[in-house]
Structure 1
Amino acid sequence: MISFAIRARRPFAGRWRAAAGLMLLVAFVGVRGGGAQAQQNEMADVEVKAVPVQGQVHVLFGRGGNIGVFAGPEAVILIDDQFAPLTPKIEAAVKTISDRPIRFVLNTHWHGDHTGGNEHFGKAGAVIVAQDNVYRRLSTDQFMKAFDRHVPAAPRDALPLVTFNDEVAFHLNGEEVRAWHIPHAHTDGDVIVHFTKSDVLHMGDIMFNGFYPFIDLGSGGNLAGMIAGVEKALAIAGPKTRIIPGHGPLTDRKGLTAYRDMLVAARDRVRALIARGESREEVIAARPMADYDTTWGKRFIKPEQFLGFVYDSLKPAQGGN
């Protein structure tokens, strides 16, 4: 038996690859606007690999956000679905785990490297579920300020059928799966997902494991929300909890704590420079995270980009806005 509990304002609203670098984000902002054949060609050599995590949870590594697969005797839930051209490979990878139907797709936020497969899975009968702001952003044209790119609205079949405000719970496969909205984190529609009996957390893009995160301030993201989301996850995680980040390899509570400590150090150091009257350019030139850069700043987001996100997150608060 499947039951689905939801608290909603609007209940029915219509392989990790570090070398991928910045191309992941450049790719996702053009996913819905680019040529389908060009996208298909770009993804032709991508391997989608299924890796067991713990309990009833696997992760799919491909290109784009890490996909959580919750599979049991009743059905399958996908957490995110990467890019549209990868959907046949995603389906094939899921079939190596389970022959049960994909009943739900839960989007952790609106970015196309996490929602690109929505249309395919929606047409195939899966119920797309997301936080309210994900529906709002997918259903309207968006402008990605960080990349100076316009992203057109998604087609109807790609939109969430069920949306929620604060939290949602799935009761499936003899386990509760609970997702919480983390306001103003990576975006304004992020969720973290807890597979309660399997003891697994999916962080979405609130966590980039091993490298500095992208914070989409233009979509309502903010460093404070990123830290709050990590703190909530740490309050849930135990010594045996396995953690799926939005990007990067699997980790655990220790890895999540190290990520939290990096974010807090960035906040405190940049805040101190702002308090001394340093401008954005001066803060970046001061390299306040130099001791972290050799570990965290060599892959996805470069140190100067990350410091810009931190500064822009903190500066409005200095003015009381």
Structure 2
Amino acid sequence: MNSARLLGAVLISSFFVSNVLAQDFDQVQIEAVKITDGVYMLIGYGGNIGVSVGEDGTLLIDDQFGELKDKIDAALLQISPHPVRFVLNTNWHYDHASGNAAFAETGAAVIAHERSRVRMLTDQRHPDLGVEVPPYPETALPVITIHESLTFHFNEDELLVFHIPNAHSDADLAFYFRRANVMHTGDLCFVGGYPYIDILNGGSIDGTIAAMDRLISMSDDGTKVIPGHGPPTDLAGLQEYREMLTTVRNRVAEQISRGRSLAEILDSNPTAGFDEGRDRFVPRELFVEIVYNSLTGRSPGQQGTGNHR
């Protein structure tokens, strides 16, 4: 790939992030999708929101953006009259947790991994996306943090909350409703697109594949899966996603072992066979660069495409 084409790939991702941060939230609609009795998914603008409803109240997994709270509340009222008591963050990224303050101000307790709270206190830097987001306000910070795992006994179900290290980042939580047999993966899984892996904050391609192995081992043919982005999926969807991750990872690794540069690897199209039907949420060029960075230790956003020897 020549320098002009590589620059184009960078501009695509930067353009995407600029659109996210400049989004006209007035145009966003929140759609509620029933996953099973008592468990729903809200689709809006940002990470998918998981919802548990019942006599104990309403529990959210992620909350998108504070500007969308009124619309999220309106969608929730179509599901249950009970207030939001808890918000659990899959991670601290701005498209998943920027609604924390708004929900905390109306009485919800925010819960996240301990490293997410630490990350919220500083700027979010994503140089491979060309974006920097300021620290969260104090009202958005989790009041309860999790080190490894936690079990919620809520709405006649057991919600297992567990840390998945060094995958999408070093601070991700995944969630499993035992009775409902529903899993929320957060950004450990993207459906219909390539993933963003936060290398700068402890993420890795090998850790993401290991995370999929763990989530697959917890699933069966009846498991329903809420991904971080994209439509609901199932065990077969998790297996297909793992196959994509592994294939692209191995193709990139093989070319690294032959001394190929990032530009040369991009030119070879290591995502061949997987591009069709995937949106441009994360451009394939950026995904390949993320895999390359993860395998070589190259810093995200680093300029140049010199050979890795």
| Alpha-carbon distance in 2 for matches of 1:58, 1:132 | 26
Structure-1 residue corresponding to 2:211: 229
Write the deviation string for residues 86-109 of structure 1: whole angstroms up to 9, x where unpaired.
000001111111111211100000
- Tell me which residue corresponds to 2:79: 97
1:245 is aligned to 2:223: no
1:302 aligns with 2:283: yes
User: Residue 50 of structure 2 aligns to a residue in which SS?
Assistant: strand
The TM-score normalised by the length of structure 2 is: 0.88
Residue of 157, 160, 163 corresponding to 2:142: 160
Over 3 Å counting, the alpha-carbon distance change for 1:22 and 1:72 in structure 2 is farther
Q: Deviations over 1:133-157 (max 9, x none)?
A: 1101111223221233322111111
Q: Is the 8 A contact 2:113 2:171 kept in 1?
A: yes
1:178 matches 2:160: yes
1:128 aligns with 2:110: yes
For residue 303 of structure 1, report the CA deviation from its aligned partner. 1.9
Matched, 1:137 2:124: no
Identity %, equivalent residues: 41
CA–CA distance in structure 2, aligned partners of residues 51 and 138 of structure 1: 29
CA distance in 2, matches of 1:128, 1:87: 15
> Is 2:100 the counterpart of 1:118?
yes
Q: CA deviation at 1:81?
A: 0.3
Equivalent position SS for 2:275: helix
Q: Aligned partners of 1:100, 1:72: CA distance in 2, in Å?
A: 8
Cα separation, partners in 2 of 1:23 and 1:242, compared to 1, 3 Å: farther
What secondary structure does 1:125 align onto? coil
- Give CA-to-partner distance per residue, 1:238-270, whole Å, 9 cap, x none: 111110011101111111110010001011111
User: Structure 2 vs 1, CA of residues 27 and 128 (structure 1 numbering), >3 Å: closer, same or farther?
Assistant: farther
**Aligned runs of 1:37-76 on 2, under 5 Å?**
42-76=24-58
Distance 1:109 1:119 in 2: 15
Aligned AA (1:247): H
Give the residue type in structure 1 aligned to 2:288.
L
| Equivalent pair of 2:167/2:204 in contact (CA under 8 Å) | yes
1:186 maps to amino acid: H
**Contact 1:146/1:216 (8 A) holds in 2:** no
RMSD of equivalent CA atoms: 1.8
Q: How far has the Cα of 1:289 moved from its partner?
A: 2.1
Q: Return the alpha-carbon distance in structure 2 between the equivalents of residues 250 and 236 of structure 1.
A: 17
Q: Does 1:82 align with 2:64?
A: yes
Q: Write the mapping of 1:180-195 to structure 2, written as runs, cut at 5 A.
A: 180-195=162-177
Matched residue of 1:245: which SS? strand
Partner of residue 293, structure 2: 312
Q: 1:127 Cα deviation (Å)? A: 0.6
Secondary structure, aligned partner of 2:135: coil
Deviations 1:166-204 (A, max 9, x none): 112111112110111111111221111101101100010
Partners of 2:282 and 2:103 lie apart in 1 by: 31
Alpha-carbon distance in 2 for matches of 1:22, 1:94 = 33
Equivalent residue number for residue 192 of structure 2: 210
Cross-structure match for 1:260: 242
Offset, 1:27: 5.2
- The separation in 2 between residues aligned to 1:261 and 1:147, in whole angstroms, is 25
SS in 1 for 2:64: coil
Change (3 A) 1:189 1:25: farther
Determine the C-alpha separation between the residues in 2 that align with 1:312 and 1:271.
11
Gaps of 5+ in 1: 1-20, 31-37
What amino acid is aligned across from residue 265 of structure 1 in structure 2? T
* TM-score normalised by structure 1 residue count: 0.85
Structure-2 separation of matches of 1:58 and 1:48: 12
Q: Give yes or no for the alignment of 1:272 onto 2:254.
A: yes
Where 1:207 maps in the other structure, the secondary structure is: strand
Gaps of 5+ in 2: 1-12, 299-309
C-alpha displacement at 1:23, in angstroms? 6.4
Q: What's the CA shift for 1:24?
A: 6.2
| 8 Å Cα contact 1:26/1:147 also seen in 2 | no
**Structure 1 contact 79–107 (Cα < 8 Å) conserved:** yes
